[in-house]
Amino acid sequence: MSRIGVFTCHCGENIGATVDCVKVAEMCKDIPGVVHSVEYKYMCSDPGQRQMQEAIKEHKLDGVVVAACSPRMHEPTFRRAAGDAGINPYMCEMANLREHCSWVHEKGEATTQKAADLIRVLVEKVKHNEPLHPIKVPVTRTAMVIGGGVGGIQVALDIANGGHKVVLVEKSPSIGGHMSQLSETFPTLDCSQCILTPRMVEAAQHPNITLMTYSEVEKVDGFIGNFKVTVRKKARKLDEHLCTGCGLCIQKCPNKKISDEFNEGLGTRTAIYVPFPQAVPNKPVIDTLNCTYYKTGKCKVCEKMCPTNAIRFDQEDELVTLDIGAIVLATGFKLMKTDAFPEYGYGKHKDIIDGMQFERLASASGPTSGVMKRPSDGRSPETVVFIACSGSRDRAKGVPYCSKICCMYTAKHAMLYKHKVHSGKAYVFYMDIRAAGKDYDEFVRRAIEEDEVKYIRGRVSKIYEEDGKLIVMGADTLMGGEPVVIKADMVVLATAVQSNDRSEELAQTLHVSYDSYGFFAEAHPKLRPVETNTAGIFLAGACQAPRDIPETVAQASGAAAKVVGLFSNEELTREPIVAVVNRQAAPVYSTCVGCFICQGACPYQAIEQEEIMARSGEVIMTLARINPGLCQGCGTCVATCRTKAIDLQGFSNEQLYAELMTL
Amino acid sequence: MEAVIQRAKELLEQGEVKAVLGYAKGTGSARRPHFARQAGQLDKLVMDEACVQNLAVYVTKHEVKKLGKVAVVALPVTQRAILQLMAERQLRDGSLAILAVDDGAVKELDSASALEEHLALKAQVLNAKDKASLADLEAMDQGQRWAYWQKELSRCMKCYACRNTCPMCYCDHCTMDCNRPQWVPVASHGIGNLEYHMVRTMHLAGRCVECGDCGRACPVGIPVHLLTIGAEETVHELFGQRAGHKAKLDYALSTFKTDDKESFIR
Ligand SMILES: Cc1cc2nc3c(=O)[nH]c(=O)nc-3n(C[C@H](O)[C@H](O)[C@H](O)COP(=O)(O)OP(=O)(O)OC[C@H]3O[C@@H](n4cnc5c(N)ncnc54)[C@H](O)[C@@H]3O)c2cc1C
Ligand code: SF4
Ligand code: SF4
Ligand code: SF4
Ligand code: SF4
């Protein structure tokens, strides 16, 4: 016979004002198996908890029901207290008298009765509870960071400085991300390369960091502390160990007219190339789509030039599988292209460019060496129009959200332009100026007041070309919607920040959730912003939502702290609320029939196949087995199994049946 | 039939299969399953309109599996059931020689992929009678339909013939036999009968191969096959998936596709 104690809490007025707690405590004394029932004003308070612990000892209780608030609120509190008093923590259950009763009903006899019924149900559950023990899983203390932008670099450095190994996987030939393309950065106008390059080098040289550039994650198996990640190292067509980065091959490559991604199509590069001079690692790759040898079978000039014989035309992609304990996603964003705007000529006007192209024009390392020249004819533009919110906050473009960084970089662009072309005129069309951030509003004011950038609140409905000028037709909503027409030499669209290409595919590979725009979803918008819903996978930077550099770096350090925290344990303890496929004595073995319908239903890939073998080694049957390290206790498999072979520990069929039957 | 018998004979004599499962004459015009383990027993095999039973129900039985490789004279419903059983890992791919008989022609298929290809060639059509009965049920309003089934199922005596004849009800430990806890009462009575049939319908929605054997098996003539076939048709309508068409498990109720229609979820 069970010896169960019931502790009814008034929660101040929260429960006490609606439910007659004294009467409830009295009623509970009559439930079979209950040997002790009391009420108290605040069970969660120190004296409340102590009262429970003393009762456990004094009355030799083997189970406890705390009738109070939601278990989401205080289940850990009471389980810990019960555990400290000497019973298995999982023999303590909570009846939710607050959310499920007092908050949703009027004061009255029926409400009090319902409170007593809720407790009766939980008493029945406790009678069928079994002591459970936390699950321990070992941790591989190596992290993987996916994406080598400023966010990924920061995460990698912080974890490495915390004393743990990091593998940094970057899909392009160099780390650096978008920040390496920027000219100067708001709100301080310091040179982007100058502050980023040292970090890139530090990451490359750090003894705890392994760089895997020109690589992509193909497959992720396993679970927190124990992932197995397969990475595809794309063939650079070059032996990285032999290459010294001298660049002779690049100089001699005859194929020089390839549109340059790093310069956003405003410059050209060769078929064997490094994306930019400060690239890390400073080792070229051969672009096989454009290389003459791969197209015609002839050339191999680079091979002849290379002093160390590093070129490998026959190199193949390589698949590497790594043991990883935690993963940080830092894959960044992409910008909407100018061809998404029919009203601005579908991107066919060369002088209508996007923000990143402007960065390259303004950059000292860019195709014009930082001199303002418009792309069509190389003339210095005398009038430039900047259009903020191009595509952002525009449902018709599928981007209802604010891209967050454009207000700031548009002000920066207008300012940089004025600094370079003193006589030039800069106009900014905007919807609102969103410059919340340390020194941000001051920065925008400086553009308007000191650099005399003309801000016009309104939208541009159309741009067309006439006599070598771009005619910008807008409206000034602060002047009653009065039409504004500007003859411009160049137009810069601050196009929307979007989730990166194939981010949904990557999310599916890693089993993390994403929002309807393809940005990775955090576990809680306020309280768990760097975690994903999948344990052991974290987020940093613009892959989660549009972000500027300070925010990216701050979040990156946050994610790194989570990883270092995780790695501070040799083993992880997990709640034992996991599903179990039953096992029985031979010849039954299990009521599982091995249909593996549950396997497809499990959202966490926790269900494995187990072969039951005879002594002879012959496989008698193949049954489902749940990996307790992976199972999140969602119960989906329990509902899917026709033969009820699966039970969720702590919520077994028998427990639920007993609960229902007591009503 | 000559061709089938000829091929079956070869298979038996060459020792490629240990038995041939087909139909033989039963009492009156009825046909019954027939296991031929020697060539001499093959001449009893018949194939005509009266052969309707889904023979797949036998091939998952331990006694049959123990025989070794078996050849099965397989109507389209039997083929679908075998393919679904392979997808659900109840039959090993290659453990059967399937003598597919559709519209008089015979074709030998010995793998799940061959079955899948073969079945993909023909559209699955529901027989006219079941189609009409389903339409009649559909035409009723919810109250009428509820009353209809309550009345019909009140006659059920829980003999479980419908379950035992169903090739997809292969579970060694059916939920109905689970007594810890006893979710569904053992005795036959209103609520319990309803529970049993609702459970069976849900277990077969997306898995039913539409042979109709459960309805034929019922000794008191309850058209229980309309429940499972009706559910199967609904699954097909909503998710485009059908039991017995894919070698790899493709079960609507345990998977999701990003383009699943959700218009019916309210
Ligand atoms: C025009 C413009 C101007 C800006 N100016 C400023 C400014 O002045 N100040 C400021 O604070 N911010 C500025 N920003 C914002 C800044 O660029 C971002 O905040 C920053 O780049 C975000 O860093 P990140 O590491 O999250 O992403 P990214 O910089 O996008 O880096 C992501 C990296 O991940 C890699 N990657 C992507 N997918 C994969 C994959 N599947 N596998 C492996 N690797 C992958 C990419 O190749 C890239 O290297 C500007 C942005 C724009 C567009
Ligand atoms: S659904 Fe049930 S019977 Fe099928 S494999 Fe999973 S546990 Fe076994
Ligand atoms: S409870 Fe959920 S997570 Fe655990 S095995 Fe079942 S379906 Fe997978
Ligand atoms: S009713 Fe369900 S559990 Fe029972 S045999 Fe059929 S499929 Fe299996
Ligand atoms: S065969 Fe008929 S009587 Fe028997 S269990 Fe099925 S429905 Fe009931």
Tokens of B88: 């659900």
Average pLDDT, chain B: 93
Q: What is the dihedral of CA A238, A242, A244, A247, to 10 degrees?
A: -30
What is the helix (H) or strand (E) element at residue A399, kind and residue range? none
Residue among A642, A654, A658 minimizing CB distance to B203: A642
The answer to whether the CB of A182 falls within 8 A of the CB of A227 is no
> Pick the residue with more confidence: B77 or B258?
B77
**Nearest CB neighbour to A654, from listed B172, B181, B254:** B181
* Both structure tokens of A547: 């972000």
For residue B185, the surrounding DSSP H or E stretch is none
In the reported structure, the alpha carbon of residue A479 is separated from the centroid of ligand 1 by a whole-number distance in angstroms of 37
Ligand positioned closest to the Cα atom of A626: 3
pLDDT above 90: residue B3: no
Write the pLDDT tens digit of every residue in A193-236.
999 999 999 999 999 999 999 999 999 988 889 999 999 999 99
Query: What is the mean predicted confidence (pLDDT) over B163-176?
Result: 95
CB A536 within 8 A of CB A325: yes
* Residue whose tokens read 């409206």: A475
CA of A279 to the centre of ligand 4 (A): 62
Q: Find the DSSP H helices in A70-167.
A: 71-84, 109-128, 150-161
* Residue B265 pLDDT: 64
CB contact under 8 A, A643 and B181: no
pLDDT for the residue numbered A338: 94
Partner residues linked to A184 by β-bridges: A191
Verify whether ligand 3 is closer than 6 Å to residue A636 (CB atom).
yes
Q: Which residues of B touch A (CB under 8 A)?
A: 88-90, 170-175, 178, 180-181, 183, 203, 249, 251, 253-255
Q: What is the pLDDT of residues B148-159, one digit of tens each?
A: 999 999 999 999
Q: Is A640 on the interface with B (CB under 8 A)?
A: yes
The label of the residue with tokens 């975690």 reads A531
Specify the pTM.
0.72
Q: How many Å separate Cα A278 from the centre of its chain?
A: 28
- How many Å is the Cα radius of gyration of chain B? 19
DSSP designation for A427: E
Cβ–Cβ of B253/A595 closer than 8 Å?
no
Structure tokens at A536: 């052991």
Mean pLDDT computed over every residue of chain A: 96
A540 pLDDT band, cuts 50/70/90, is very high
* Domain ranges across chain B: 2-120, 128-254
pLDDT band at A279 (very low <50, low <70, confident <90, very high): very high
Give the orientation angle of helix B76-87 with respect to helix B112-120, to 10 degrees: 130
* Backbone dihedral angles phi then psi of residue B21, each to the nearest 5 degrees: -105, 125
pLDDT digits (tens, 9 = 90+) for A70-85: 998 999 999 999 999 9
The Cα–Cα gap between A638 and A579 comes to 8
Q: In the prediction, which pLDDT does A586 show?
A: 86
| Residue pairs spanning A and B at CB distance below 8 A | 54
Would you place residue A578 in the very low, low, confident or very high pLDDT band (cuts 50, 70, 90)? very high
**pLDDT of A318 strictly over 80:** yes
Angle at A395 between CA A392 and CA A401, to 5 degrees: 45
DSSP letter string, B77-122? HHHHHHHHHHHTTSS-TTSEEEEEEETTEEEEE-SHHHHHHHHHTS
- Say which DSSP state A337 is in: P
Q: Which two tokens stand for residue B9?
A: 């004979």
Q: Residue B266 — pLDDT band, cuts 50, 70, 90?
A: low
Closest C-alpha to A357, from A345, A343, A347, A344: A347
**What does the block give as tokens for A391?**
């595509």
Query: What's the token pair of residue A567?
Result: 């790695």
Residue B29 pLDDT > 70, yes or no? yes
- Please report which confidence band the pLDDT of residue B165 belongs to, taking 50, 70 and 90 as the band edges: very high
Q: Which residues in chain A are classed under CATH 3.40.50?
A: 4-128
Token duo for residue A350? 């060369």
CB contact under 8 A, A644 and B180: no
Task: Kindly report, residue by residue over A367-376, the tens digit of the pLDDT.
Answer: 999 999 999 9
User: Are the CB atoms for A411 and A186 separated by under 8 Å?
Assistant: yes
Task: Give CA–CA dist A591/A644, Å, rounded.
Answer: 8
User: How large is the average pLDDT for residues A573-598?
Assistant: 93
CATH of A336-498, one of 3.30.70.920, 1.20.120.450, 3.50.50.60, 3.40.50.300: 3.50.50.60
Sequence length of chain B is: 266
| Confidence check: pLDDT of B1 > 90 | no
Q: How confident is the model at residue B180 (pLDDT cuts 50, 70, 90)?
A: confident
Atom of ligand 2 minimally distant from the CA of A596: 5
Q: Which residues contact A29 (CB under 8 A, 6 or more apart)?
A: A37
Class of domain A142-234+317-332+500-567: alpha beta
Residue A585 has which token pair? 């004595």
- A382-406 residue pLDDT tens: 999 999 999 999 999 999 999 999 9
Query: A284 near A238, Cβ under 8 Å?
Result: yes
Q: Are A87 and A61 in contact (CB under 8 A)?
A: yes
Tokens of A339: 């061809």
Residue with tokens 């005795």: B187
- ipTM score here? 0.94
In sequence order, what are the residues at sequence separation of 6 or more whose Cβ sits closer than 8 angstroms to the Cβ of residue A198?
Answer: none
Answer yes or no: are the C-beta atoms of B6 and B108 closer than 8 Å: no
Task: For residue range A281-314, list pLDDT tens digits in order.
Answer: 999 999 999 999 999 999 999 999 999 999 999 9
Distance from CA of B130 to the nearest CA of A (A): 26
What are the residue ranges of CATH 3.30.70.20 in chain A? 579-661
Band of residue B190 on the pLDDT scale cut at 50, 70, 90: confident
Q: How open is the CA angle A592-A594-A599, to the nearest 5 degrees?
A: 100
Report chain B residues whose CB lies below 8 A from the CB of A640.
Answer: 253-254
Q: If you ran DSSP here, which 8-state letter would residue A99 be given?
A: I
The answer to whether A118 and A298 have CB atoms below 8 angstroms apart is no
pLDDT score of A558 more than 80 = yes
Any idea which architecture A579-661 has in CATH?
A: 2-Layer Sandwich (3.30)
Q: What percent of chain A has pLDDT over 70?
A: 100
Chain B residues lying within 8 Å of A593, measured CB to CB: 90, 170-173
What are the pLDDT digits (tens) for B222-234? 999 999 999 999 9
8 Å CB contact between A182 and A364:
no
Question: Measured between CA atoms, how close is B172 to chain A, in angstroms?
Answer: 7
| Distance between CA atoms of residues A72 and A100, nearest Å | 13
The mean per-residue pLDDT over the stretch B132-146 comes to 96
For ligand 1, which residues put their CB under 6 angstroms from it? Answer: A 146-152, 169-172, 177-179, 182, 185-186, 216, 330-333, 335, 355-356, 359, 405, 409, 412, 500, 506, 541-542, 547-550, 552
pLDDT in tens, A405-455: 999 999 999 999 999 999 999 999 999 999 999 999 999 999 999 999 999
pLDDT value of position A495: 97
Contact state of A593 with B178 under an 8 Å Cβ cutoff: no
Query: CA–CA separation, B92 vs B109, rounded Å?
Result: 14
Residue A145 has pLDDT above 70, yes or no: yes
pLDDT for the residue A331: 98
Name the fold adopted by A4-128: Rossmann fold (3.40.50)
Residue A526 burial class via C-beta count within 10 angstroms: exposed 0-12, middle 13-18, buried 19 and up = exposed
Q: How confident is the model at residue B263 (pLDDT cuts 50, 70, 90)?
A: confident
Alpha carbon distance A461, A454 (integer Å): 18
Percentage of chain A modeled with pLDDT above 90: 93
Give the closest ligand to the alpha carbon of residue A534. 3
Peptide bond preceding A367 in cis form (omega within 30 of 0): no
Short-list A509, A514, A574, CA closest to A543: A514
Do residues A509 and A220 make contact, with C-beta atoms less than 8 angstroms apart?
yes
Of the partner residues A593, A622, A657, the one whose CB lies closest to the CB of residue B171: A593
Domain with CATH 3.50.50.60 in chain A: 142-234+317-332+500-567, 336-498
| Spatial CA neighbour of A172 closest among A137, A214, A211, A205 | A214
Of the candidates A594, A642, A653, the beta carbon closest to that of B89 is on A594
Among the listed ranges A252-266, A454-468, B247-261, which one has the minimum average pLDDT value? B247-261
